[in-house]
Amino acid sequence: MRRIVALSALFAGVLLGCDRSTEPAKRSPLRLSLDAPATVVQGDMMRLTITITNSSSATHTAVFPGSVETLYVNAVALSTAGDTAWASPGWVTLPAASMTFAPGGNHSVPMQWALIDRQGTPVAPGTYRLKAWLPTISSGGYGPDEILHSPETPIIVVTR
């Protein structure tokens, strides 16, 4: 019974506490950036790219959820009111990918958003803020719960 209660608490913590996108990144030399078009047309598919870059002059290895081919990056689009209009699937399983970055090296993850909200309806024209985050476990001893954050990127959705 104690094991069931402990597992239930763990799963509740994961489900309720997995969006830590407002926590500051720790000491990692890795930086997360998000590239998206400034303006998109309602009904189109918006393509965005999230890039992990080693900002240090030394080689750095980190472990990420997912695989080298498919990292589980979390991304959201927020309305001007702060409501979540879209959220990427993020990571739900725990395979891990170890990646080594040369000084200044990077790895890009392409994503797309069909400009529909979480209920499946087209988002309204207006301004949205995109942001992404990626949990890591760094081999440099930075701890098992490091989170990289991209700066917010504004986009404007317009009608045809």
Share of the chain above pLDDT 70, in %: 71
Q: Average pLDDT of 90-113? A: 81
Q: Rounded to two decimals, what is the model's pTM?
A: 0.74
The dihedrals phi and psi of 83, each to the nearest 5 degrees, come to -75, 145
- According to CATH, what is the number of the domain 20-158? 2.60.40.2360
User: In whole numbers, what is the pLDDT of the chain averaged over residues?
Assistant: 78
Taking the alpha carbons at both ends of the chain, their separation in whole angstroms is 58
Dihedral (Cα; 66, 111, 101, 92), 10-degree rounding: -20
Sequence-ordered alpha helix ranges (H) in the chain: 2-17
Residue 64's pLDDT is 81
If you write DSSP's letter for every residue of 86-121 in order, what string do you get? EE-----S--EEEEEE-TT-EEEEEEEE-SB-TTSS
The predicted pLDDT at position 70 comes to 67
pLDDT in tens, 47-86: 999 999 999 999 998 888 766 666 778 899 999 999 999 9
What does the DSSP 8-state code read for residue 7?
A: H
User: What does the domain layout of the chain look like in residue ranges?
Assistant: 20-158
Inter-residue contact 85 to 79 (CB < 8 Å)? yes
How many residues are present in the chain? Answer: 160
